[in-house]
């Protein structure tokens, strides 16, 4: 049976530059079934879901629902819900956690401040604290958005949990159904596609060591898609895998061509040219959709710029 995932894999569609964009993630536990737009089509109060969508709009905060791997029978309203918030911009990466029995309290959060990297409202409203446990892996499993997420994502989440991996959750939507199973890893905010259990374990171990695995990586959610592709290209070219080593200073231009400036904490700079192309031949972007040519981010060139602190100064 052909699916959007098999078509994307068979056509070797590139993963880099396809991650969802969010400077800050807000993740709320909601057991039970999820609909296509889970904030307003789950057992979360629909009015609360609409209000949360409105509160987050334009702030850089992306809200998703999470649940523990396993069966999802309707067990009523949970007494306590887990809540996470994570900021993913290098230089100010953090992950805080809380529990709440009153999810409507999330409306008291300062979403604008969360989007800029300030966790104080989360800590004061929900008594949140920095997360000190294992890194977290969120596997997209929402089959109501795309069947591939359920067919491939749920077995992955179950396998990871059964093998003793801590910090695994199911999540409602990470974008890019055709790259299922898709996984978001926090605190650093890198997303992965076509994930397998052994690879996710490798990624999580790297996070513990404050490293980034570039194989299978879709990009960092902190950046827009051209910058995601550029940052991964610099990591590969420079053999630089330390999680906090690189940041995107600026992105100049507009579709279909950008110039992205990537900086290293040691002062080095790179200029990366990224072009938007069309994925051909046409393929479904999700199961049941018409054939299309989804945009892809192609790295045209990676050039290290000479700077006053360059490791290799120019010779006369």
Task: Per-residue pLDDT tens, the chain, 316 aa: give them.
Answer: 567 767 667 767 889 999 999 999 999 999 988 888 889 989 999 999 999 999 999 999 999 999 999 775 556 667 899 999 999 999 999 999 999 999 999 999 999 999 999 999 999 999 999 999 999 999 999 766 666 677 888 999 999 999 999 999 999 988 877 887 999 999 999 999 999 999 999 999 999 999 999 999 999 999 999 999 999 999 999 999 999 999 999 999 999 999 999 999 999 999 999 999 988 877 767 766 667 788 899 999 999 997 644 444 333 3
Neighbours of 178 (CB within 10 A): 27
Q: Residue 209: is it exposed, middle or buried by C-beta count within 10 angstroms (0-12/13-18/19+)?
A: exposed
Tokens standing for residue 14 = 């590139």
- CA atoms of 251 and 297, how far apart (whole Å): 14
Tokens standing for residue 296 = 């892809």
Neighbours of 110 (CB within 10 A): 17
pLDDT at 311 (0 to 100): 42
The secondary element (H helix, E strand) that includes residue 202 is: helix 197-208
- CA atoms of 184 and 189, how far apart (whole Å): 6
pLDDT at 316 (0 to 100): 30
Residue 231 DSSP SS3: helix
Residue 48 DSSP SS3: helix
Q: Which of 202, 206, 203 is nearest to 191 (CA)?
A: 203
pLDDT at 74 (0 to 100): 59
CB 215 within 8 A of CB 4: no
pLDDT at 288 (0 to 100): 66
pLDDT at 312 (0 to 100): 41
Tokens standing for residue 271 = 């200029």
Residue 7 DSSP SS3: helix
pLDDT at 29 (0 to 100): 96
Q: Which of 168, 160, 161, 206 is nearest to 184 (CA)?
A: 168
- CA atoms of 286 and 243, how far apart (whole Å): 31
158 backbone dihedrals φ, ψ, rounded to 5°: -65, -40
């Amino acid at each position: 049976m052909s699916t959007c995932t098999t078509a994307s894999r068979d056509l070797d569609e590139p993963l880099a530059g396809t991650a969802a964009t969010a400077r800050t993630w807000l993740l709320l536990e909601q057991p039970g079934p999820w609909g296509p737009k889970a904030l307003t089509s789950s057992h979360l109060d629909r009015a609360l879901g609409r209000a949360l969508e409105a509160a987050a709009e334009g702030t850089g905060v992306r809200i998703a629902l999470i649940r523990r791997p396993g069966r999802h029978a309707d067990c009523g309203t949970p007494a306590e819900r887990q809540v996470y918030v994570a900021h993913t911009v290098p230089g100010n990466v953090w992950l805080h956690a809380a529990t709440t029995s009153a999810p409507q309290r999330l409306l008291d959060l300062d979403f604008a401040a969360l989007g800029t990297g300030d966790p104080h409202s989360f800590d004061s409203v929900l008594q949140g604290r920095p997360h000190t446990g294992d890194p977290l892996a969120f596997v997209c499993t929402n089959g109501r958005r795309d069947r591939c997420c359920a067919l491939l994502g749920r077995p992955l989440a179950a396998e990871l949990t059964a093998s003793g991996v801590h910090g695994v959750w199911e999540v409602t939507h990470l974008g890019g159904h055709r790259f299922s199973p898709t996984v978001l890893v926090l605190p650093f905010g890198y997303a992965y596609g076509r994930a397998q259990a052994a690879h996710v374990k490798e990624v999580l171990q790297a996070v513990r060591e404050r490293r980034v695995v570039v194989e299978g990586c879709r990009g960092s959610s902190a950046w827009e898609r051209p910058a995601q592709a550029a940052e991964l290209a610099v990591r590969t070219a420079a053999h630089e895998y330390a999680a906090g080593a690189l940041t995107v200073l600026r992105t100049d231009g507009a579709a279909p061509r950008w110039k992205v400036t990537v900086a290293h904490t040691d002062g080095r700079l790179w200029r990366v040219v990224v072009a938007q192309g069309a994925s051909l031949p046409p393929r479904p972007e999700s199961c049941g959709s018409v054939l299309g040519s989804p945009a892809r981010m192609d790295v045209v060139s990676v050039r290290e710029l000479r700077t006053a602190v360059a490791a290799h100064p120019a010779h006369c």
